[in-house]
Amino acid sequence: MHEMSLAEGVLQLIEAEASAQGFTRVTRVCLEIGQLSSVEPEALAFCFDAVTQGSIAAGASLEMQAVAGCGWCLPCGQTVALTRLYDACPRCGGYQVQVTGGTEMRVKELEVE
């Protein structure tokens, strides 16, 4: 389950920002998660709760916002929406589509005290 390592990475980012900015508690974490990132939101939420126990983010609410997938279709020369990796272009049916968005995961906001 790679969600555990992702949750640990988020906690490390939070702790680094707490050290740099001097806050002592995090009450809300907002993540942007690409639809093509292969991250299972329910598993990530479970892992986040587990890894934040006893930390400055213990009990923090976790919000996850989906980022749509998109790609560049070489035959069409157009940016197209993608719902799954390796799908055909929804316009022409070709498979020469390079993913350009929706694979990322980032911390968008922290609410702190």
Mean pLDDT to the nearest integer, 55-73: 97
Structural domain contains residue 97? no
More confident residue, 1 or 60: 60
User: Is residue 76 situated within a structural domain?
Assistant: no
8 found inside a domain: yes
Calculate what percentage of the chain has a pLDDT beyond 90: 98
Does residue 54 sit within a domain? yes
Instruction: Look at residue 56 in the predicted model and tell me its pLDDT.
Output: 97
Number of structural domains in the chain: 1
pLDDT exceeds 90 at position 11 = yes
- DSSP code string of 50-70: HHHTTSTTTT-EEEEEEE-EE
Which pLDDT band, with edges at 50, 70 and 90, does 17 fall under? very high
What pLDDT is stored for residue 1 in this prediction?
A: 57
The answer to the question of residue 86 being in a domain is no
Question: What CATH number is given to the structural domain containing 57?
Answer: 3.30.2320.50
Report residue 85's pLDDT band, with 50, 70 and 90 as the boundaries. Answer: very high
Q: Percentage of residues in the chain with pLDDT exceeding 70? A: 99
Q: Using one digit for the tens of pLDDT, what is the confidence trace for 22-57?
A: 999 999 999 999 999 999 999 999 999 999 999 999
Question: What domain range includes position 27?
Answer: 2-68+102-112
Tell me whether residue 56 is in a domain. yes
Q: Is residue 94 part of a domain?
A: no
Question: How many whole angstroms separate alpha carbon 69 and alpha carbon 102?
Answer: 4
Q: 44-57: buried (b, 16+ CB within 10 Å) or exposed (e) per residue? A: bbebbeebbeeebb
- The predicted model scores a pTM of 0.87
Q: Is residue 89 part of a domain?
A: no
